Amino acid sequence: MATEVTKASYVEAGKAYDRDMRYIPDRITAEPGRSRDRLDVTADAETGALQVPTWPVEPGRYRLVAARACPWANRSIIVRSLLGLEDVISLGTPGPTHDQRSWTFDLDPDGRDPVLGYERLQEAYFARFPEYPRGITVPAVVDVPTKAVVTNDFPQITHDLFFEWREFHRPDAPNLWPEEVREEMEVVMKRVFTEVNNGVYRCGFAGSQETYDAAYERLFTALDWLEERLTDRRYLMGDAITEADVRLFTTLARFDAVYHGHFKCNRNKLIEMPALWGYARDLFQTPGFGESIDFEQIKRHYYVVHSDINPTQIVPLGPDPSGWATPHGRDAL
């Protein structure tokens, strides 16, 4: 495993953190006539609207590359497991650290992904876009025959795993996008993303005291809202797990281990918010969630890669993760 990474800068002095949400827009779809193997993004001749490239659903064709350390990638690992797609879409897991170039497969024998043969995920991006101009991010779906990246659009990936791969879901797979609550769920997920998932990064990568203070207030306003919401309901949308829970869980799982100290989100710990802590433990103990979490990889990723925040790259030994296995009592709801 790599022990050092090239220094990368995530903090821009005097500025608030602004996440680049421009991803490869391709989708893998099941609808006949809409799917095709390869297509460049083009504009409709009459309307000017972008036509998003689509690829066909084919079991065994694609490899999901998702580092367990990354919360955005963690979502796709959980959804793949919940839906029973392990034998349909293979999984490659880069190690927890990366340099300015790319995530690397340093956990695999000889440091290469056993299916793609790559040392770096960057190679899959360059196989499709030789001069790819943005960051090499996870999760990424790779077309195994061509070894070229298909998409790295993380919210669309989990959406399509549910809607487009339904034919291959296990029989008792959960309904992650229930029609009866979908409109409200979209509102909840938007707030969770802007204020919590991305909110911890706004705190950690703030470039001034003023931008940090504003980010901190926004984050804990949202966490207080979630604490209240989860006091009398087991999950975000009621009595069943949805995509909204997957999206919130990956941030909560990292909160005390990383965000509380490393990102200065320290008004209180997760374990000091009774409803959220019980909810997080409930999910952690649900098949598909807890086994996707590797606290040592998570800590190593943040404390080593973010060398502008933690220049010594010392990884803390705590906190004790045993509390995640304690009874949560949420089934009473």
Q: Mind telling me the catalytic residues? A: 70, 201
Q: Which two tokens stand for residue 181?
A: 């609550």
Mapped onto helix, strand or coil, the DSSP state of residue 126 is helix
DSSP single-letter state for residue 196: I
Question: What is the rounded end-to-end Cα distance, in angstroms, of the chain?
Answer: 43
Q: Over the range 107-128, which residues count as b (16 or more CB within 10 Å of their CB) and which as e?
A: bbeeeebeebebbbbbbbbbbb
**CA–CA separation, 112 vs 109, rounded Å?**
6
The secondary structure element, H or E, covering residue 223 is helix 209-229
**Contacts from 310-313 at CB under 8 Å and sequence distance 24+?**
310/262, 313/4
Structure tokens at 128: 């499709």
